[in-house]
Structure 1
Amino acid sequence: MWRILLALCACCTALPRHTGASPLGPGLSRTQRDVTCDVGVEYRHGDLCCRYCRAGTYVKSHCSRSGGEGQCEECDSGTYTEHDNELAKCLPCTQCRLDQELVKQCTHAEDAKCQCKPGRFCHPDEACEVCKRCTRCKTDEEAVRNCTSTTDTECKKVQSKADAPSDSTVATVASILVVAAVCVIIIALGLYKWRLKRSDSQSDQPDSVKPELQYNFPSEVRGDSDARRLSRQLEEEFPKLVPVKGEESLRACFEYFEDLSMDYYRRFFRSLGLNDNVIKGCDQQQYEDRIHELLNKWVEKEGRDAGLDVLLRALLDLSQRRTAETIRDQALQAGHYRR
């Protein structure tokens, strides 16, 4: 019997000793496994549940007991956190690009807000890597929705009025009326001359007066009539425009001159009083930048006398009527000028 007891003691002595390894896995104590933090309110740090730092701050040091809050530090200038967080540092504020303008300043608890500058747009459902230039309606179109920072211009065809005559028809009718008026005057003067010959007082009338009445008078009437008609027509089609915001309105219209033909742009700026050295000095720039630069130099030279009407008259003098009409219509539709 005693031999059996000795054998059992020897077996117990041969068994391996407990090493202290946790059956829950390496590095994880039963306390850590049982930790459950309040979702949305606390975050886990080791075997503790620390409360989130508020928006506008970050975690400078963690809590020392569960349910407590560590040391939260306010974000530095130029950084932010928008929500309760466990971040070790704040996020840098967004910087607006060159084609954007700042809408709302960055604060400790909210990022900066940017949007495309006037004349450009970017759809909100697209990656806005660059702002696109707003579409310009053609001369036979009208804007049904103006361009915004997030939507492009919407244009539609202008419905032509059946009763409204075209410009060419008006010009033809006017020419016919002028010719008819001249013919009537010539006929009237011819009858007057014929009656003078039949009257007894013909001898008292100097012969030199008759040719003058017959030829010079109709031509003078015709010249004055044409001049007045053309002057009225120009005043109706190109009335003096009133800027809504002074010089700012004029500069806002510079982009409309980007469509000016390269064949005319030198003559255009010479007619505005800029010398060839100034014009050639901008030849290395892109064409659009060149137009803006020269228009800015012209405004600086003219000062208060600078105006959109002066630019439109210069285009008319160069027979660029269509370009002048397009720029006039764009300035009115955009609200930079009013009649």
Structure 2
Amino acid sequence: MAAKRLLTLWVILCTLLEAKATSLVATQNPEDTVSVVLKQNDEFYEHNGRICKKCPAGHSVFQHCKSSGTEGVCHPCENNTFSKYLNDFERCLPCTECRPLDEVVLQPCTTTSDAQCACKSGTFCSPSLPCETCHKCTTRCPDGETMVQPCTPESDMLCVKALGPADVTSQTPAAGSNGQILFLLGILFCVTLVVAVSVGICKCRIKDSRTGSVTSVWDSKTIRRLRRKCTHGPQEVEDLWDVQVDQRIRLSSLEYANSNARGSETTPLQTTGSSEEVQVSTEQRRNLVPANGKDQMTALRLAFDIFIKEVPLRDWKRFMRALGLLDNDIDTIALMHVGDMKEQHFQMLRTWHDMNGKGASLDSLLEVLCNMDLKGIEDKIRAALITQGLYVLEE
């Protein structure tokens, strides 16, 4: 009898648990699951908590979607406007108008591409600079120079100094070949000597008993004096050697100091940078990945604000050109958001993102900054991304 009661209670308990599970599944919002998947797709964008499908090229968003995973109402571009990529613009971009006085139309504007303009024949304008007006081409080279490239719509005529008979003779292998060979051998000997002296500096150190600092027996000036006695080369070559020698000595001093620090914990280390700073610099070079499980697209868009804040205004257009945006794209976005510089820069980054789709990444932005010789800005952005919790160092 007791066993029968226990069995009845067990059946009732299982029934209640099954009903509770069914209720939870029924009340779960299916859009939450859909949103997680769609956020990782470049064909969708977020609007008021919903994930909408972007409009195709040649269209703009007339009305945003009413439920996640669907497309809103898209209207085709009209009245001399266009859109080149999948987008969530609420209006198409205005077409570029070629200047009738000094430009010709290479390609007319369509709903999916902007107009392409070029300077008229006999004029040019460099694409790396804002083209306010086309400049007249040079018609002939100065006396003593010869043309190596004619004028094009993007560059002026290029002239170089003409080689005379004496110049041609001086460049032949037979003229003074023995002297040139001896000169090259002398340079090779001096390079070998400098490398040998640099290696010796790494091993020859004097330790100051009062401060505990480490200094080299020979400094870079000694090496420069040895090198100048050997080469007597041009000033530009001497300056390059000076930089290389300084770099070798700084690197050697740092390696020696770090080895001493590992061997004796009581010896104070006096160098231009601590070992902890070197480790931090090495850590910062590791790849960054989104923090807290963020998807790549969301983390990258959140990082746009940091790039907008840290990249200097004077370098912004050059940054955009290096990312692949045309001057027409940059100018059009600026006209659409006159007076709001931050919004202009955000829309430029978003246009770059739409152009590249899944190929757009944080590493691409940071690499472009390095290639532009903005290494200090790239380091500040890396630190800000980590500090604000958007990215973490990859394990």
- What's the TM-score once normalised by structure 2's chain length? 0.31
> By percentage of residues, which structure has more helix?
2
Relative contact order, CA 8 A, sep 6+: which one is greater?
2
TM-score (norm 1): 0.36
